[in-house]
Structure 1
Amino acid sequence: MLGTCMLIGDGILTPAISVLSAMDGVRAPFPSFNKTWVETLSAVVLIFLFLLQKYGTSRVSFLFSPIMGAWTLCTPIVGIYSIIHNYPSIFKALSPHYIVQFFLRNGKSGWLLLGGTVLCITGSEAMFADLGHFNPRSIQIAFIFTIYPSLVLTYAGQTAYLIRNPNDHNDGFYKFIPTPVYWPIFIIATSAAIVASQSLISATFSVIKQSVVLDYFPRVKIVHTSPNNEGEVYSPEVNYILMILCVAVILIFGDGKDIGNAFGMAVSESHCSFDI
């Protein structure tokens, strides 16, 4: 039950932090576009996304694969470019020697600093819920051969950039993107954030449906939005509660760091609960 609760919390925080982080990219080319406008625009995007849930994902799901394919292809290419131009030796970081030195140098505070790296693996906990849509083998193949290499190259590229430009640590992603491809990457990043949000929203519906069947959750209306896919479900009550909470998180917290802290805790608890 704890894992289920944390996954539901993840379904609130993932759309908020994903869309907010993506939309924050508007501020780099347009400094006058202040934080309030970013939060408002993010809230509008999320409201629109939640209002579309009643129609199911089957009508637009054909776009998900190309969007995520573009995301997993483009960001590592930018990462490789950054590695070559900024710090080609970045892959030395794969050696366990450096993490040992990190803990020896920082002691207890090193563990606190390392907590932020949990955000690097967010989304993997949703794979447990996605078992209702895909078999384990397909998830394993997709993760090992596409997602994992893409993440390593992207994060390595950002790190290489930050080694040369440490003052840009507050916006390490958009700052490391070359100017000629900034807007295409921004569009892809925003689209990928929406798809990631949809993934957690669908996962939340799926988990709640299973919990209702097991009498672990109050009875709510469950609608099957696809005649061909039994796992594609929608709950009006849950949908609008998630929408209100997502928008509230953005408008109340606003700062991605605060949401990220809560996000990291939810993901950590989800992983621990599922592992147990």
Structure 2
Amino acid sequence: MSADNKQSLPAITLAAIGVVYGDIGTSPLYTLRECLSGQFGFGVERDAVFGFLSLIFWLLILVVSVKYLTFVMRADNAGEGGILTLMSLAGRHTSAKMTSVLVIMGLIGGSFFYGEVVITPAISVMSAIEGLEIAAPQLDAYIVPLSIVVLTLLFMIQKHGTGMVGKLFAPVMMLWFLVLAVLGARSIMANPEVLQALNPAWAIHFFLEYKTVSFFALGAVVLSITGVEALYADMGHFGKLPIRIAWFSVVLPSLVLNYFGQGALLLKTPEAIKNPFFLLAPDWALIPLMILATLATVIASQAVISGVFSLTRQAVRLGYLSPMRIIHTSEMESGQIYVPAINWLLYISVVIVIVSFEHSSNLAAAYGIAVTGTMVLTSILCCTVAAQSWRWNRIAVLLMGFAFLCIDIPLFSANVVKIFSGGWLPLCLALVMLIIMTTWKSERFRLLRRMHEHGNSLEAMIASLEKSPPVRVPGTAVYMSRALNVIPFAMLHNLKHNKVLHERVVLLTLRTEDAPYVHNVRRVAIEQLSPTFWRVVASYGWRETPNVEEVFHRCGLEGLSCRMMETSFFMSHESLIIGKRPWYLRLRGKLFMALQRNALRAPDQFEIPPNRVIELGTQVEI
């Protein structure tokens, strides 16, 4: 490691604390309160406190430290992570049938994230502002309005980007974790008996004593690890080493100290279960702590909002969502983006959730089912990558998968009972997103197949046009072609109706590769098909935005010079009609037509000068 990198590692680690650990770092606000609130039939009893603390500690160790930081983060695609990346890696060396199963699993995991991201900002911000119940009980009625105001401001600033706000993230979250540690340590010193809960025997004793009830209580314990997927999804921003250093040096010790501090307080003062986090602080610190908690939860919310923007861009580039407007808010960092449609749909959903559930405890009853579902899918996909791509010993992979699922499946099963108390909400949102993604992918494939079923050969057509050319006009015509060796629909219609051809014809294909970035050396591939026909294939990664002007600038450097003011871009515009179908496929067809109507047009999607675009319409039956 160079001296420069050594100097930058602490800065990157600090930044990782600010962005990656916002969600999991704010879970002490509500986790232990929900565990011991009495909903499972037992209250603040010594065995229950020790049992929950032991379960929380060992979940943090086994799930976060061992599973995600040690194993799952090994599965990266050019440094990038996330459930769709894992899906892509898992399907590289498997059969077509198995790949289809893995794709569905990855899409379900991505859909779960959309369902989870609606609850995260709501429960985090409400938990922080609920400190008013302790500091000023007469202001209790203002918790919901204040939560909406804070989140409204958060969603409004998204269009300005997170660059400036991001500079405040790391110091605020570092202060937050230090405060967590200090408050917890202060309480532990007053009652060090609580440290006995580090012994896993207390977790086992908890299951033996409370039997069936203890299983359902896992649904509350899982709140301590919500946000764990962010470790993997944000790997591309910071790298593996800073994320691991941040966890083991700052985040894990702070969380453990705070949870055990809350436990020590409850052993001494059981009535503190009303809000054990805020009651850890002395009276004079309540208002400053509430302000700090609100800032920390806003940062946690910002992290998941940025995450859903990144997931949306990845899904669009991979062809699972319709093209939509994606704005880059930073000239230096490609990961800082803003998706207006997703931002405001998410905002409306979050406000509805806050108004409907009214209290963070009600939201906690709905939280966790999507998180644990994603954890199960991550375990299966990770083991598939280990067996197929890394060529690990099959027995070792089976043992690893068995160990992961022995934790994940009980956690998921315990959360399934939350369906009737609010868990239906993230599941319904996830189902809607899954239907949209599978509909767009399958119906788009059907549409392209219908458009290319004319059966004409590209090579034969070019040879015929060169031998008996129609009227030639000056300039360059660019025809967007979605697939190689296929005659673009727009070219067929131009020849049919206008009966002319430009002096030079370029067939342009923009291809998304199975990688986050494509090196500029491999950006453009040029092939001359005949004296007047050229094929240009421009490759982009799924984290990049195609730009046609950039493509032709690179073509000019390689000998194919095109002046934009002398170039016309021909595109087809499809008017869709639904053919004979069963009723359920007819509904899917109508959904696809709605998505197609509202999709971003190709000139905007590929940044083509609008005054150089000619659209030729056609009617297609799907």
**TM-score, scaled relative to structure 1:** 0.96
Contact between 2:120 and 2:301, CA under 8 Å: does it hold in 1?
Answer: yes
When structure 1 is superposed on structure 2, of 46-55 and 135-144 the one drifting more is 135-144
2:127 corresponds to 1:48: no
When structure 1 is superposed on structure 2, of 8-17 and 180-189 the one drifting more is 180-189
Q: Which has the higher contact order (CA 8 A, sep 6+)?
A: 1
| Alignment counterpart, residue 244 of structure 2, candidates 130, 140, 150 | 140
Equivalent residue letter for 2:336: E
The structure in which a higher percent of residues are helix is 1
User: In the TM superposition, what are the counterparts of 1:162-173 in structure 2 within 5 Å?
Assistant: 162-173=266-277
Which residue of the partner structure matches residue 262 of structure 1?
366
| Alignment counterpart, residue 76 of structure 1, candidates 181, 190, 196 | 181
Contact between 2:233 and 2:307, CA under 8 Å: does it hold in 1?
Answer: yes
Equivalent residue letter for 2:268: R
Measure how far apart 1:219 and its partner are: 2.4
Distance in 2 (CA, whole Å) between partners of 1:195 and 1:76 is: 19
Measure how far apart 1:165 and its partner are: 1.6
CA distances 1:93-134 after superposition (whole Å, capped 9, x unpaired): 010111111100011210111220111112222222212322
Distance in 2 (CA, whole Å) between partners of 1:161 and 1:91 is: 12
Which residue of the partner structure matches residue 244 of structure 1?
348
Equivalent residue letter for 2:258: T
Measure how far apart 1:255 and its partner are: 2.1
CA distances 1:165-184 after superposition (whole Å, capped 9, x unpaired): 21221311112212232222
Distance in 1 (CA, whole Å) between partners of 2:325 and 2:290 is: 37
| Alignment counterpart, residue 113 of structure 1, candidates 193, 217, 228 | 217
Contact between 1:132 and 1:231, CA under 8 Å: does it hold in 2?
Answer: no
Which residue of the partner structure matches residue 108 of structure 2?
2
2:169 corresponds to 1:64: yes
2:332 corresponds to 1:228: yes
Distance in 2 (CA, whole Å) between partners of 1:260 and 1:213 is: 34
Distance in 2 (CA, whole Å) between partners of 1:272 and 1:41 is: 36
Which residue of the partner structure matches residue 128 of structure 2?
22
Measure how far apart 1:26 and its partner are: 1.4
Q: In structure 2, do the counterparts of structure 1 residues 98 and 172 end up closer, same or farther at CA, with 3 Å as the change threshold?
A: same
Distance in 2 (CA, whole Å) between partners of 1:47 and 1:110 is: 39
Contact between 1:223 and 1:235, CA under 8 Å: does it hold in 2?
Answer: yes
Which residue of the partner structure matches residue 143 of structure 2?
38
Which residue of the partner structure matches residue 91 of structure 1?
195
Structure number, greater radius of gyration: 2
Q: How many residues are aligned here?
A: 274
Measure how far apart 1:10 and its partner are: 2.1
Equivalent residue letter for 1:5: S
Distance in 2 (CA, whole Å) between partners of 1:240 and 1:179 is: 38
Structure 1 unmatched runs, 5+: none
Q: Runs of at least 4 residues of structure 1 off by over 3 A?
A: none
Distance in 1 (CA, whole Å) between partners of 2:266 and 2:369 is: 26
**TM-score, scaled relative to structure 2:** 0.43
Distance in 2 (CA, whole Å) between partners of 1:150 and 1:10 is: 25
| Alignment counterpart, residue 205 of structure 1, candidates 309, 312, 316 | 309
Contact between 1:16 and 1:249, CA under 8 Å: does it hold in 2?
Answer: yes
The structure in which a higher percent of residues are strand is 2
Structure 2 unmatched runs, 5+: 1-106, 381-622
Which residue of the partner structure matches residue 290 of structure 2?
186
CA RMSD in angstroms comes to 1.2
Distance in 1 (CA, whole Å) between partners of 2:299 and 2:309 is: 15
Measure how far apart 1:189 and its partner are: 0.9
